Amino acid sequence: MGDRVASVSAVAIRHAKPSDYGRVIGLVNVWWGGREMAPMLPKLFFIHFEGTSFVAETADGDLVGFVCGFLSQTADDEAYIHFVGIDPEARGSGLGRALYERFFEEVRADGRSVVRCVTSPANERSVAFHESLGFEVERVVPDYDGPGEDRVLLVKRLS
């Protein structure tokens, strides 16, 4: 953890805006080590789901994390988290937890009692992080998101 994000208390979380997208996608590619992540995170999430998407900024205005989610259109008691990104220098600061909790609060207010998301089975750190937030592993599904794209299905009941 770098000095720049000494603690989550120095970070402000607010709703994402469409104008945040360019900055977010530029950083996401860096945070993922140069992988081209834009296809997974088109701008539409910042336009049509801004009410359930959040960004985290330092007092200096540096973007250090975000979460993009939405209310399920099919299941009216469910919400879904599609994408979460945390500045590698901010990992371990509690920022991921704070972003998820902000999301939980928002969707609970919208009458949702279940939150779902998926992650890669190879990403044990992600599975452990979700379990620490109260998610349970429902199952692991081979080829869930296309050929070779196995996924762990995670679910959390909001209390």
Stretch binding its own copies (CB under 8 A), from 78-86, 92-100, 122-130, 132-140: 78-86
β 78-86/114-119 pair status: parallel
Among 23, 82, 91, 102, binds its own copies (CB under 8 A): 82
Span 1-30, contacts to its own copies by CB under 8 A: 22, 25-26, 29
How many other C-beta atoms lie within 10 A of the C-beta of residue 83? 16
Closer of 8 and 41 to its own copies (Cβ): 41
Contact pattern for its own copies over residues 38 through 77, marking x by CB under 8 A: xxxxxxx--xxxxxx-----------------xxxxxx--
Span 94-133, contacts to its own copies by CB under 8 A: 118
Q: What is the DSSP letter of 74?
A: S
Q: Rounded to the nearest whole angstrom, what is the least distance from the CB of residue 38 to its own copies in the complex? A: 3
User: Do 82 and 68 meet the contact criterion of CB atoms below 8 Å apart?
Assistant: yes
Determine if residue 146 is left, alpha or beta; phi over 0 gives left, psi from -120 to 50 gives alpha, anything else beta.
Answer: left
Among 101, 131, 136, 143, binds its own copies (CB under 8 A): 143
Whole-number Å distance between alpha carbons of 105 and 37:
27
User: Do 107 and 129 meet the contact criterion of CB atoms below 8 Å apart?
Assistant: no
Q: What angle do CA 56, 76, 141 make, to 5 degrees?
A: 75
Q: Rounded to the nearest whole angstrom, what is the least distance from the CB of residue 19 to its own copies in the complex? A: 12
Whole-number Å distance between alpha carbons of 5 and 69:
24
Closer of 70 and 91 to its own copies (Cβ): 70
Interacting residue ranges for its own copies, rule: CB under 8 A? 22, 25-26, 29, 36-44, 47-52, 70-75, 78, 80, 82, 118, 143-147, 149
